């Protein structure tokens, strides 16, 4: 499964469709109201120097899933120059507890990232040992920081140590 397929599965597995709404006052233009659960944080706002510290090529940035917005989520991904490793940041306005309670996740392990409560999670669908997510609260949002090996890893290895290392490098660029 390609990078976008993984992103689709991850986003679809935890996303609930959010309702739309708007408010208007007589005599004024209608003002759109943010959808419930939409994130405030734009994951594509990570500075280039942080991406380079992760070994990512800032010019490889891809928003959403093939530029298609996923309801309740904002996604941004980058790859290394060899396209063997990817980092994807999933942002949602949903609470951390609701993400962690998703039955698609296994091996939910509490960790600390630069003084923040966080969790590593694995997906039950990850049969090739390709990725690990670090999940944490960031301001009003929940972020999933995914490290993804394009070719997977041997069963004896885990992608989680690299995901944790990446999360530690990304953390200063994230909202509190």
pLDDT digits (tens, 9 = 90+) for 30-85: 333 345 669 999 999 999 999 999 999 999 999 998 888 899 999 999 999 999 99
SS3 53: helix
CATH code for the domain in which residue 142 is found: 3.40.1000
Q: How far apart are CA 170 and CA 79, in angstroms?
A: 15
23 lies in some domain: no
71 lies in some domain: yes
Number of domain units in the chain: 1
**Confidence (pLDDT) at 128:** 87
pLDDT digits (tens, 9 = 90+) for 124-156: 999 889 999 999 999 999 999 999 998 889 988
Which region, left, alpha or beta, applies to residue 16 given φ > 0 means left and ψ of -120 to 50 means alpha?
Answer: beta
31 lies in some domain: no
CA distances from 32 to 5, 36, 90 (A): 31, 12, 23
22 lies in some domain: no
Q: How far apart are CA 117 and CA 69, in angstroms?
A: 28
28 lies in some domain: no
30 lies in some domain: no
**DSSP element (H, E) containing 5:** helix 3-14
169 lies in some domain: yes
Model pTM score: 0.79
Where in the sequence is the domain holding 124, given as residue range(s)?
A: 3-15+37-173
Averaged pLDDT for residues 26-33: 37
């Amino acid at each position: 499964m390609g990078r976008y397929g993984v992103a689709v599965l991850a986003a679809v597995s935890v996303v609930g469709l959010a309702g739309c709404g708007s408010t208007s006052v007589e005599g004024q233009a209608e003002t759109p109201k943010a959808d419930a659960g939409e994130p405030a944080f734009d994951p594509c706002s990570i500075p280039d120097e942080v991406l380079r510290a992760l070994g990512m090529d800032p010019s490889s940035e891809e928003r959403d899933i093939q530029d298609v917005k996923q309801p309740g989520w904002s996604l941004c991904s980058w790859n290394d120059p060899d396209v063997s490793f990817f980092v994807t940041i999933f942002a949602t306005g949903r609470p951390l507890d609701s993400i962690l309670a998703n039955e698609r996740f296994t091996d939910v392990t509490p960790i600390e990232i630069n003084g923040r409560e966080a969790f590593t999670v694995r997906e039950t669908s990850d049969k090739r040992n390709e990725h690990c997510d670090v999940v944490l609260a960031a301001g009003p949002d929940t972020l999933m920081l995914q490290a993804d090996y394009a070719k997977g890893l041997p069963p004896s290895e885990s992608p989680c140590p690299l995901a944790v290392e990446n999360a530690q490098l990304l953390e200063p660029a994230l909202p509190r």
